[in-house]
Structures are given as C-alpha cells and as structure tokens.
Amino acid sequence: MNEAHPPPVEGDVNVSPARAEWRASLSDAARAALDEDERYFLRQSLSTPCLAPILRAEGAVLTDIDGRRIFDFHGNSVHQLGHGHPKVVDAIRREIESLPFCPRRFSNATATALARRLVETAPGDLDKVLFAPSGAAAISMALKLARYATGRHKTLSLWDSFHGANLDAIGIGGEALFRRGLGPMIPGAEHLPPLNLARRFFGDDKPFERFADYIDYALEVQGDVSALIAEPLRWTTVEAPPPEFWPQVKDSCRRHGALLIFDEVKTGAKLGWGGASEYFNVHPDMICLAKSIGGGLPLAAFGASKSVMDLISQHKVFHGGTYNTNPVSMAAGLATFREVLTRDNYAHVDKLGKKLAAGYRKTLAKVGLQAYIAQAGANGALMFYPKEIRNYRDWTTIDIDLWRHYWFAMVNRGVMPQPYWWDEQWTISVQHTEADIDKHLAAFDDIASSLAKAQQERIGQPALSAH
C-alpha cells in the first residue's frame, strides 16, 4: 500500500518520484480504491496510474474521495461545457424518463432535431448526418463512404496524427505508440509529414506553401486516392497552419478527385462556433465530430453531402449501429448546441483564454522561465522551450522532467492545468469564471520562480527522454 513507486501497469508513462509522492499523500481509502480498480478494470493506455477516485464533478471542479477540490482544465477535450451543465442535465433527465432507447427501425424526434441543427451549422453542402457512439467509429464511417463515393481505396494522412485507437483508425493515424507491434496496417494508407514539422521538411521560406504543393504532387502521382484525412491543426502543440493552407489543399483534392475529410473530433466545437471549417474558411467534403458535442455523454457525428450519404439509402453501402441514435445522447447533444455552445459563450471562453495566456506570459517574463504559451480557441499550452518549436530536433530537447514538476506542483495546489503529458493542452469550459482563471494563474505564479531556478541549474545538461 505504501510502495515508493507504484508498479508499472498497462500503459504507464508516469512513474516519476513526483507521482510516487502524490500517491503517498492519498488516504488509505483512496489507495485501496485505486488498487481495486487496477485489479478489475483495464483502463486506456496512457491513462494510468490514476490519480485518485473522483466522487463528484460539477462545473469546473472535481472532488476526489479525500475531499480534495481540483479546478479542472483537463477535460480530455470533452470539457468545453464543464461538468454537469444544468441545461444538459435537464435535457437528459427529460429524455430518459420518456424515451430511454429507440430501436433502429424507428425514428425519434430528438435525433432528427440534432441532425438538422448540425446540418444548419455545417459549412458548404454538408447536408446529411450520421451519428455514432465514438469518434473512432465516425472516422471508420467516413473512410468507408469515401471508398464507395470515389471508387478508390487509398488514403493520405499525416504522420504523428491521431484518429482513434481502432485498427482502421490506427492504420491511417501516425502515432508510432499505437502502431507498434501490430504488423501490416490497412492497405493503401499513405502518409505525409506532420503539420508541425513543415519547416523541417520544406524550409523556412514559405514552408506551408511548399507543403501544400507537395500534397498536390502526392495526389497527382498516386492518382487513386479516395481521401485526404487530417486534423485541421495539431492539438498537441495548439499550432495552426496559415489561413491559406487548407483552402489550397481542398482545391488540390477537388482537382484530383479525392475527398477532404476533417477530423474535428477535437477541433469541432472547440475552435469556435463553426469549428475549424469556419476558423480556416474552408469547406471539407466530410467532417467527423465527437468529444465536446455530447455534453459529457458518448456521441459522435459524421457529415457529408447528400450524394455521398445517399450511397447508404441506395443500398450501395451497408451501415448500422445499435446505439447510433440513442435518444439520451441525442438529447445531450441537442441541448449542447441549442443552449450551451452559443456565440455568447464562445466569446466568454475566448476572453478567459486570452486572460489565461496573458497571465502566463506575464509570469514567464517576470521570473525568466524559458518557455512560451501557444493558444487557439478554448485551448492553450505551456511549452518548456525558449522559442516557438519549429522542427523535430526542438521537440527532443524539451525538459520533460521539469514539465512533470510543473504539472504535479499545479495539481498539488488544486489546479489540473492540462492532461498528463507535456504536449497536451488546457481546455477552458463555458463554466469557468474569471475567478477560476485567477486561481490557475496564482498557482502558476507560486511555482514559477522555483521552476526557473531549477531550469537554470539544468542548462547544459541533456533533457530526459520523453517516454
């Protein structure tokens, strides 16, 4: 029960001394609950070891089994609404009392209303929607329909991207961690350099213009690509390509007969009211949504044009799913879009995001900590590097151990600043307040000087390996 280091299990990346100190601070009841959880439940890789059993999540605050209150800026990209938003809770309660389940050979008004709302919000001619219980399932649907719509099977995607942990999603994804040891992936899955390394591969002179030209070349030389699927920006660094990049790529896809699929599982509802499509002023051929759109319930959606979607109704593609239009999830999604993710609330989140980023930058300058802040929409990140990361070699010199000290010091002060790993990002929800931002900044101000001192002592020493 009181081991110095928790034994490595499942997909641990966090067995640092700081993690061991955290575990030692837990009560006997908390450690016993974690031990029982580990005995019976297999969690997702990279989610272990768990910090503590959570008893309540309300607004922007988590309360654990020991009564510890933690201001949550983690959210796993679901936190855009905060926890238990009253509008969503009321909608769920009404729906579960009247229609807790709907067999798939029937329709239900809530699903129809949500589909209509998404179509009215979507850009271009994305005028039909399918629902799914997870983002990975929506990605699979998009890939399947792209094959039938184009008569081709190849895809282009980006190395180091993430599109889900199912086998087909891993095949088009580019994170080695998820592909390791699996053998051959899906046939025809071709990969391009990641967005955040454009300068490394295409130089400092117009790197994204050259990258877009390379994509045009790849589409032409392959000749039989069904779709290019991509996250519109890399969320792990909150790094956005220039505004002209995606319109150029969309034009190339159109000319070469390929479909452009935006994986907006994270960006949809996070960058703004119209997601990445509005942010970059581009109309992809397909959009996949998940995470925030369910208000905390499992919900994903996939949108495309009528000509693509009608392949299903014409019986050219078979598709089904028991829980795809579960009325309770539909109710949560409808309340999310109708009553929570309003333009006024986006303005509120944007204001808080700018305040948090400005506060971090002020403290960084005050204490001389060599780091910078990246921010877009509801998300941002503290990067322990003296200037904007521009290539892969920059990534390898990030001081991971210093980041660990930052993360646990913040959590010990009642603020979870982001998911656990250095290339993740914070999420600000509509239920965060200016007082919450002040608490976050006060916690960082309290530890920043010690981080700067530790950093200075380590200059000239090699940074620790990331994994």
Q: Are strands 286-289 and 300-304 parallel, antiparallel or unpaired?
A: antiparallel
Q: What was the pLDDT predicted at 260?
A: 97
Span 348-374, pLDDT tens digits: 999 999 999 999 999 999 999 999 998
| Residue where a domain terminates, one of 318, 340, 362 | 340
Span 312-352, pLDDT tens digits: 888 778 778 888 999 999 999 999 999 999 999 999 999 99
Whether 269 and 392 share a structural domain:
no
Is 33 inside any structural domain? Answer: no
Whether 383 and 453 share a structural domain:
yes
Range of the domain at 164: 86-340
Span 299-321, pLDDT tens digits: 999 999 988 888 888 877 877 88
| Residue where a domain terminates, one of 340, 374, 402 | 340
- What distance separates the 2 farthest-apart alpha carbons in the chain? 67
How crowded is residue 430: how many other Cβ atoms within 10 Å of its Cβ? Answer: 21
Q: What was the pLDDT predicted at 375?
A: 86
- C-alpha to C-alpha distances, 319 to 71, 315, 380, nearest whole angstrom: 41, 9, 37
Q: What was the pLDDT predicted at 41?
A: 78
Q: What was the pLDDT predicted at 400?
A: 81
Q: What was the pLDDT predicted at 21?
A: 80
User: Taking residues 433-441, what's their average pLDDT?
Assistant: 97
Percentage of the residues of the chain whose pLDDT score is greater than 90: 57
Whether 366 and 291 share a structural domain:
no
Q: Are strands 415-416 and 225-230 parallel, antiparallel or unpaired?
A: unpaired
Q: What was the pLDDT predicted at 235?
A: 63
Is 349 inside any structural domain? Answer: yes
Q: What was the pLDDT predicted at 388?
A: 77
Whether 179 and 58 share a structural domain:
no
Whether 117 and 253 share a structural domain:
yes
Confidence of residue 96 (pLDDT cuts 50, 70, 90): very high
Q: What was the pLDDT predicted at 463?
A: 40
In contact, 274 and 237? CB cutoff 8 Å: no
pLDDT of 460 higher than 60: no
Whether 101 and 134 share a structural domain:
yes
Whether 382 and 428 share a structural domain:
yes
Is 4 inside any structural domain? Answer: no
In contact, 82 and 59? CB cutoff 8 Å: yes
Q: What was the pLDDT predicted at 36?
A: 87
Ranges 85-94, 131-140, 267-276: which has the least confidence: 267-276
Q: Are strands 225-230 and 259-264 parallel, antiparallel or unpaired?
A: parallel
Is 44 inside any structural domain? Answer: no
Q: What was the pLDDT predicted at 48?
A: 58
User: Taking residues 385-397, what's their average pLDDT?
Assistant: 73
- Of residues 190 and 181, which shows the higher confidence score? 190
Q: What was the pLDDT predicted at 44?
A: 62
CATH number at residue 300: 3.40.640.10
Whether 60 and 99 share a structural domain:
no
In contact, 291 and 135? CB cutoff 8 Å: yes
Instruction: Give me the number of domains the chain comprises.
Output: 2
Q: What was the pLDDT predicted at 2?
A: 45
Confidence of residue 1 (pLDDT cuts 50, 70, 90): very low
Q: What was the pLDDT predicted at 437?
A: 97
Buried b (16+ CB within 10 A) or exposed e, 236-251: bbbbbbeeebbebbbe
pLDDT of 27 higher than 90: yes
Span 221-261, pLDDT tens digits: 999 999 999 999 876 666 789 999 999 999 999 999 999 99
Is 72 inside any structural domain? Answer: yes
In contact, 237 and 374? CB cutoff 8 Å: yes
Report DSSP state, residue 337: I
Confidence of residue 391 (pLDDT cuts 50, 70, 90): low
pTM to 2 decimals? 0.90
Whether 283 and 254 share a structural domain:
yes
Rg (CA), the chain: 22
Q: What was the pLDDT predicted at 3?
A: 45
Whether 57 and 193 share a structural domain:
no
CA 128 to CA 290: how far, in whole Å?
16
pLDDT of 457 higher than 90: no
Q: In the predicted model, what is the mean pLDDT of the chain? A: 87
User: Taking residues 134-146, what's their average pLDDT?
Assistant: 93
Whether 157 and 61 share a structural domain:
no
Whether 295 and 375 share a structural domain:
no
Is 441 inside any structural domain? Answer: yes
CATH number at residue 437: 3.90.1150.10
Ranges 386-395, 411-420, 433-442, 450-459: which has the least confidence: 386-395
Indicate the SS3 state at residue 294. helix
User: Taking residues 17-31, what's their average pLDDT?
Assistant: 85
Ranges 53-67, 128-142, 384-398: which has the least confidence: 384-398
CA 186 to CA 175: how far, in whole Å?
15
Is 466 inside any structural domain? Answer: no
Indicate the SS3 state at residue 287. strand
| Residue where a domain terminates, one of 305, 340, 375 | 340
Percentage of the residues of the chain whose pLDDT score is greater than 70: 91
59 strand-pairing partners: 83
Is 241 inside any structural domain? Answer: yes
Phi and psi for 62 in degrees, rounded to 5? -105, 140
